[in-house]
Amino acid sequence: MTSTPDALVAADRARIIHPYLPASAEERVVMTQGSGCRVTDVHGRSYLDATGGLWLAQIGHGRAEVAQAAQEQMSRLEYFTSFWEFSNDRAVELACRLTELGPDGLGHVYFTSGGSEGNEAALKMARYYHHRRGEPERTWILARHKAYHGVGYGGSSANGFPLYHEGFAPMVPHISHLTPPWPYRSELYGGEDPTDFLIRELEERIAEVGPGRIAAMLAEPIMGVGGMLVPPDDYWPRVREVLDRHGILLIFDEVVTAYGRTGSWFAAQHFGVTPDIIVTAKGLTSGYIPLGALLVGDHVAEQLTAGDGFPMGYTYNGHPVAAAVALENLRIIEREGLLARAVEAGAGLHAGLEAALGDLPVVGEIRSVGMMLAVELVTDKESRTPLPVRPERMPHDVIRRETGVIVRDAAHSLVLSPPLILDPAEAKEIAAGMRTVLERTRADGE
């Protein structure tokens, strides 16, 4: 067993293939502990976790009651399959809870182990639904540029960045990408009202592809990896209306937005729309254990469960330990009023960022919904030109190294999604840490 901190770091460098880590990066930050909004690395350095791990630590790190729920469940029944007629009591309990929390009409649940698996399942459900209803030619999926739907081939193909396609081709066919809602980038809409532009584009695309050939639109209600892109309030209701008119399903990828991050249980409720399928993961367990869940509309479920049943299952569907952890996580979110806290603490953090960063020339826009925030970086406020980034001088890396505040970059924005329990002193520390670095950041990215 590797013992010293330096040996651990060296072993990590030698043995682990990290996603998205450039070969030139020597640095490794090996975490060993977490408590509340803080994590500690193997050298004993403490960090303030303003990204909530990877956008998921709703209840914060190190909750003993979650560990206990897992331990109790593991001692009683660690696993049994959910294929065929089999099930387990925790999965049933969790499915009931989720359908209580979700929008009306989404009365069925399909479990996965994460968000990518969830989107694969949702895409297959959409095509299968139409197939079973006698419209097998409905195979096309509408997605958007700047979208992120995970790493499966279906989700990757729907992703709206070339990075996820280059070197992986051929991608899944029959996916068409639309313009994302990003009001700050008004140039995308040529001076037109963003929603009017986007709805017209949607109608035109449906006409081009053929309304009877489209199965579903797959979309994040707020685009995370794209830079926390928040649509205008009228966008989702109007999209829903167009899709309904053409018999196209709406799949909300709520892997980031569900379980309180927007201040509602689901962003669907925040925006006042009811999708046909909601894909969730991350905040369902706050990351204590891998688990995902799809909330499925009753009309879709009716088709999936007919005949010989839905021919797609994961070994870990409805894993009882993961379900027990999720139930405890949801109990904590409810008991501690974390939905309201997300709104309040998110507004406090937003105001703190405005006060600390608003005057800096490289800060274009600060936007947020609940506890999802972004600081969009530009060369200057006037031109709004995206700030050039240099891999060795990424602002988020410098902020972490110099101040111990962990934020993340996403498409020329710094994005934040701290635990929903963030307190005002921690919010202040985040804003101050970001200012320390951004006030020195020049228009050329130096």
Which segment (27-35, 142-150, 208-216, 433-441) binds ligand PLP by CB under 6 A? Answer: 142-150
Which segment (63-71, 249-257, 270-278, 387-395) binds ligand PLP by CB under 6 A? Answer: 249-257
- For ligand PLP, give the closer residue by CB, 110 or 189: 110
Look at residue 72 and give its three-state secondary structure. helix
Amino acid at 310: F
What length is written for the chain? 446
Exposed/middle/buried for residue 219 (C-beta within 10 Å: 0-12, 13-18, 19+): buried
Contact 430, 407 (CB under 8 A): yes
- For ligand PLP, give the closer residue by CB, 163 or 340: 163
| Residue 205-234 contact track with ligand PLP, rule CB under 6 A, x = bound | ---------------x---xx---------
Output the smallest distance, CB 245 to ligand PLP, in A. 26
| Residue 415 in the binding site for ligand PLP (CB under 6 A) | no
- For ligand PLP, give the closer residue by CB, 116 or 368: 116
Which segment (57-65, 71-79, 144-152, 233-241) binds ligand PLP by CB under 6 A? Answer: 144-152
Ramachandran angles phi, psi of 39, nearest 5°: -130, 155
Output the smallest distance, CB 303 to ligand PLP, in A. 24
Q: Are strands 31-35 and 38-41 parallel, antiparallel or unpaired?
A: antiparallel
| Residue 284 in the binding site for ligand PLP (CB under 6 A) | no
Q: Identify which of 67, 63, 128 has the alpha carbon closest to the alpha carbon of residue 277.
A: 128
Q: Is 20 left (phi over 0), alpha (psi -120 to 50) or beta?
A: left
| Residue 53 in the binding site for ligand PLP (CB under 6 A) | no
- What is the torsion angle, in degrees rounded to the nearest 10, for the CA atoms of residue 367, residue 183, residue 56 and residue 111? 160
Output the smallest distance, CB 211 to ligand PLP, in A. 26
d(CA 270, CA 264): 6
CA angle at residue 372 from 352 to 147, to 5 degrees? 140
Nearest residue to the partner ligand PLP, using Cβ: 115
Which segment (71-79, 143-151, 258-266, 308-316) binds ligand PLP by CB under 6 A? Answer: 143-151
Output the smallest distance, CB 379 to ligand PLP, in A. 28
d(CA 216, CA 219): 10
Binding residue count for ligand PLP, defined by CB under 6 A: 15
- For ligand PLP, give the closer residue by CB, 189 or 236: 236
Q: Identify which of 109, 137, 317, 321 has the alpha carbon closest to the alpha carbon of residue 211.
A: 137
Output the smallest distance, CB 150 to ligand PLP, in A. 3
Output the smallest distance, CB 229 to ligand PLP, in A. 12
| Residue 159 in the binding site for ligand PLP (CB under 6 A) | no
Amino acid at 314: Y
Output the smallest distance, CB 333 to ligand PLP, in A. 19
| Residue 149 in the binding site for ligand PLP (CB under 6 A) | yes
Can you give the three-state secondary structure of 408-435, one letter per residue?
Answer: EEECCEEEECCCCCCCHHHHHHHHHHHH
| Residue 111 in the binding site for ligand PLP (CB under 6 A) | no
d(CA 317, CA 79): 10
Interface with ligand PLP (CB under 6 A): 54, 114-116, 119, 148-150, 220, 224-225, 253, 255-256, 281
